[in-house]
Structure 1
């Protein structure tokens, strides 16, 4: 091989190495939440207009041919778990799909970094929603069991003709039985985690709609380690006059005096001013998603 051919081969190997390290090892395109991750090298050139991509403390900092990088700044006064839903977009700017990323335990004022993989039909990203909950109250589907001995989360629910039905799930991850008898205690919170006035939490779903599964009377039962329970949240998004209520967060206490957990059911209550909640019942099915 001549000197010219040797130089060309070395350059090809170096270029291949840059392309392989340009996007790190995180898999993209999933709908589940993940911890934000760094990588071995930048995704590409800096974003042409990063300020236009900024939303609620999240900023897209670079977009390359295979991935996009972002920064999450915690503007709260306590450690927080920040979940970001990105829309992966095509060349025309239209949505291809969504990707969810979560930065856990971000200290006040701290900046977390991560990336979203591109490729195929996706060539860019937009920030759709940003939700932040105190890390001390964050629902966790894995990791160490909380001191309370239970995990609490919500599933993705079902919506039809303005009716919303969402499952609230509890699992006993501890080593002792947990006694349930009655309804979870709920507090509706706005985007700033402030209580929302004018929303009535009612027991059962009959005052909102029939056949939702939220009307079983409360019964006392012991939940053994590894077992689960569920409650049903029911509301309508009907708007008849006045300002509609959109409350992303719900602070939940599984039993009176239990440690609170902040979940994100995205309550679009319209002007109904009412949220129905069912009593705890046994649940052998695992929740489809926790947030």
Structure 2
């Protein structure tokens, strides 16, 4: 699986390098929503039954079944657009109904990137949907909206399934409103990219009832698109072997997280391509420490021909307010 060059969004992670890179990164609109598989049609899908039915072959078990588009209207003039609309845009009114079908023999959690396109086929907005726990032989339906678009964006005329990734349901990152039985939630952000340097943040949240201690580096297993181990890539402790722009490599220290606290680490690499065959690693199986339950994330490492990946140690993150009640959800 090769990572499309025009799909990489940029979000800041807690590294000095990332803050500098974020100002120069370019991204399409990309929001994420989640659906739990329960053998039923998503309730929102009924709101779009009047959408135009389309015959979409789909990709990897995901297809668009109908499309709802607003009627064409004249382009707004500057005099007719408020300052707030110029900044935030307005909802496009475009949406697509979709279905996810699992033809396999085990449950999967899917992450799907849908692209809304204009009349010339150009991408107007990317939206990511997470569909959890789709069992063998099960079909789950839902809808995805193009969302808010700036007034200067071209009119949406279509949608397509751009990218599908799936991981075993038991290894999928927990949603932000749930807490695993372990009391520890592991996830990866969307990363930051500029001038061939890539940084993806790993996040470790203590959503349980007891303190949790890690020391050193996350344990990583690199996997290909069939979830098989990838050979020939050196995993380096620290980012110094990749770049000097991320600051000095700090010595790993014990990090104790009380309930509601978090730690961060980072994956750092370059996608330089010289002689040889470029290596792409769509999946990384992460363990917070020895003996921890594995979580498979999808950072899509485009390692080029460099043959190496740097990982920075866990360090305590600035405490954030708990957005839900899962900070004391398990233990």
Structure-2-length-normalised TM-score: 0.72
Once residues 118 and 223 of structure 1 are traced to their aligned partners in structure 2, the CA distance between those partners, rounded to angstroms, is: 38
CA gap 1:178/1:134 in 2 versus in 1, 3 angstroms: same
Establish whether residue 35 from structure 1 lines up as the match of residue 69 from structure 2: no
1:59 corresponds in structure 2 to: 63
Runs of at least 5 residues in structure 1 that lack an aligned partner in the other structure: 1-28, 287-291
Establish whether residue 78 from structure 1 lines up as the match of residue 106 from structure 2: yes
CA gap 1:274/1:70 in 2 versus in 1, 3 angstroms: same
Residues 206-285 of structure 1 mapped to structure 2, 5 A cutoff? 206-213=240-247, 215-284=249-318
Match of 1:181 among 209, 212, 215: 215
Residues 194-209 of structure 1 mapped to structure 2, 5 A cutoff? 194-209=228-243
Q: CA deviation at 1:230?
A: 0.7
Aligned residues: 255
Runs of at least 5 residues in structure 2 that lack an aligned partner in the other structure: 1-28, 37-41, 70-93, 150-154, 321-331
Structure-1-length-normalised TM-score: 0.82
CA gap 1:30/1:156 in 2 versus in 1, 3 angstroms: closer
> CA RMSD of the aligned region, Å?
2.0
Q: CA deviation at 1:204?
A: 0.6
CA gap 1:224/1:214 in 2 versus in 1, 3 angstroms: farther
Task: Render the CA deviation track for 1:152-198: whole Å, top value 9, x for unaligned.
Answer: 11112211211111111101111111111111100011111111111
2:309 aligned counterpart, secondary structure:
strand
2:143 corresponds in structure 1 to: 115
Q: Which moved more, 1:59-68 or 1:247-256?
A: 59-68
Q: Which moved more, 1:143-152 or 1:260-269?
A: 143-152
Once residues 105 and 237 of structure 2 are traced to their aligned partners in structure 1, the CA distance between those partners, rounded to angstroms, is: 34
8 Å CA contact 1:153, 1:168 repeated in 2: yes
State the structure with bigger RCO (CA 8 A, min sep 6), 1 or 2: 2
